[in-house]
Structure formats: structure tokens, C-alpha cells
Amino acid sequence: MRLRKNAVLYWMLLPGMILVFVFHYLPMAGLVMAFQDFKPWLGFVKSPWVGWENFQMAFQREDSLQVVWNTFFIACTKIIVNLVVPVVFALLLNEIRHMGLKKVIQTLVYLPHFLSWVVFGGIVGDILSSQGIINTLVLPSLGLDPILFLADGNWFRFVVIVSDNWKEFGFATIVFLAALSNIDPSLYEAAEVDGANRWRQTWAVTLPALVPIVIVVGTLAMSSVLNAGFDQIFNLYNPLVYDKGDIIDTFVYRVGLLNSEFGLGTAIGLFKSAVGFIMVIIAYVLASRFANYRIF
């Protein structure tokens, strides 16, 4: 009876389910390449099986261990920065009383989210190039020498983290603004009666009210601890920064597709997926325990 009553809704789900099945589940058949010396002309059936050899080879390579560390460092730093900055910005934006100005600021900071990394990466590259505005105007005015931001590994990591936050913090602020709008105004009135100024009200009322949503967002972000952003890195990096900027996804792309080491690339990708799956479970358990967040 319930199925018949909601039949239209289920039919509306069908196209999305088909797309997920075709592009997310069917390709999983290719995971067998992680256990094969895969040759395209032999296919999955005739390619020789090598067991765990590809996994052993992956962890014996010096560059693969560096890639795992790069991915972990960049992803964890992104999670922290992309959590702190939106919270702070939401608090500041919430203090603006002029609604017109508030909407203008919101619109301006949301816009970068809707740009692809192909476009946004090109903007970042132009700004930070040797002939860009930073190296030709800003640094000379401060008496500093030009910096090759995209050719130095340490600076490249900084650029990756800052540019990702620049692109996404405005959109991430929406969640915290929604949480702020749900705070009972009587709490602020009571705090004001007790003599609390705006700063004290923020510490005593606003921040405690944000703690549950911060815990949910932070714990769920753990599931992407090995996902440092292929689109961003691919559009910004170059061979000069492979030692500090190469991540698992870009490494798999180069090894698996460009170097035709399909088995090795698949093994590394499978390892990342397995770790991500475990982290999703851990994140869900933590969110359920500390923030009472449940999907089912």
C-alpha cells in the first residue's frame, strides 16, 4: 500500500539510481586489476593473477609513501581550516544588522563555489605567477622578493589549502548560519539582562549552540581524510612540486593511466577506498555518539 502510494516518488528516484549504478557500481568490476598483471589486450579474464604483488610493490616505492603522507597532511589541514574559517565568518556575518550589506557579502563569498577548478585554478595561477599581481605589485610594495608559489613544494601546499578555503568557505558558512538562526532569542535577552556584552554573549550562548553542528561537520569530514582534492591539485601542480604536492588521486592517474601500470594504480586506489570506507563508519559512529546524528 505504501509502495503504491509513493510510486511517483520512487519513479523519480529511478534515473538517479541508474546513474549511480552505471558510474559507481559497474566500474567496481575493474577492481580485479589490483590482483592482476593487467594487459588491456588480454582483458580481465586472460590477464595473469599476481595476488598481493601490486600492493607490496605500492608500499615498497619511496614515492608512494610520500604521496600518502602528502594526502594525509593536505586533507587534514583542509578539514581543520574549512571548519574554523566558516564558523568565524558565520559569527561575523551574523553580527551585521544591515540586511542589504549582509546579502551582498553572502553573494560575493558564495560565488567561487560555483566555479570549476579549471576556471578557478586558472585564476589562482594568474594571480600567483611570476607576472601576477602578487609578485609584481604586492610583494615589491612590502619590500619582499618575488616568490614562486607554484614551483616550491612548501609554498604549493600553502596555496592549495588557502585557495581551497577561498573557494569553499562561503558555501560552507550556510550550514552555520542556519544553526545560528535557530538559536532562541530569549537566551540573548537573558544574557543581556545579566549584563553580558556581545562578546560575552558569543562565548556563553552562540558558540555552545554551534558545538553540535561543528561536531557533526567535523566528524563527517573525517571520511575524506584521504581525499585531498584531485581537481584542484591536478589543475595547479607540476613536476617541480611532486614531492610535496602529489596526492593519491594524482599519483594513481599518472601511474595507472599515463604509465600504463594499471594493476599498481588500481591497488593504490583500492587501498584509499578501503581506508575511506573505514573512516566513514568511524565518523558516523562518532557523530551518533557525540552529536546524536543519525541517518537511520
29: Cβ contacts below 8 Å, ≥ 6 apart: 44
Can you give the pLDDT at residue 276?
80
pLDDT digits (tens, 9 = 90+) for 180-239: 888 888 888 888 888 878 888 888 888 888 888 888 887 778 777 778 788 899 988 888
- Residue 128, pLDDT above cutoff 60: yes
What pLDDT score was predicted for residue 161? 92
pLDDT above 70 for 146: yes
Question: What are the sequence ranges of the domains in the chain?
Answer: 52-115+168-291
Contact status, residue 74 vs residue 227, Cβ threshold 8 Å: no
Amino acid at 139: L
* pLDDT mean over 122-136: 87
Q: Which CATH superfamily is domain 52-115+168-291 in?
A: MetI-like (1.10.3720.10)
- Whether 3 shows a pLDDT value over 80: the answer reads no
What's the pLDDT at 293? 65
